[in-house]
Amino acid sequence: MVRKLNSPNPGMQTLLKDLQEAGRSVALWKKVHKDLSRPSRKRSNVNLYKIARYAREGETVVVPGKILSIGELDRGVTVAAYQCSDAARQKITKANGQVMTITELLAKNPKGQKVRVLA
């Protein structure tokens, strides 16, 4: 018997459908779709110290999972994620950064140019 791994969350289903469509022509969105298609217990949880370590000033970062608040961010970075804790959101905006959803980034940058994936 094959187990179906579709999310019961309608918002996630819509996001996965949009990413699958965009992933036909852009490898970045294909990678994000693959990471978000995994079970929720296996999705990435990225702390702010990892974003601070790998992201440059003014860069856009995609987290196919949840952003957590451990660490400090010292530069303005645009971060797109499926979920973000309130404390992490406050720390990012305090550092002159911006937090958005993956859906918003997909609409803003459909070609996925100059975007880094942290998982």
Each residue of 5-63: pLDDT tens digit?
Answer: 566 788 899 999 999 999 999 999 999 999 999 988 899 999 999 999 999 999 999 99
Q: Which residue has the tokens 């998982």?
A: 119
Which residues have C-beta within 8 Å of that of residue 86, sequence separation ≥ 6?
Answer: none
- For the chain, the C-alpha Rg in angstroms (whole number) is 14
**Cα gap 105→92, rounded to integer Å:** 16
Which residues have C-beta within 8 Å of that of residue 101, sequence separation ≥ 6?
Answer: 80, 81, 82
The CATH number of the structural domain formed by 10-117 is 3.100.10.10
* Residue 114 DSSP class: T
Q: What is the pLDDT of residue 119?
A: 87
Q: Predicted confidence band at 81 (pLDDT cuts at 50, 70, 90)?
A: very high
Pairing of strands 60-68, 115-117: parallel
Q: What is the pTM of this model?
A: 0.88
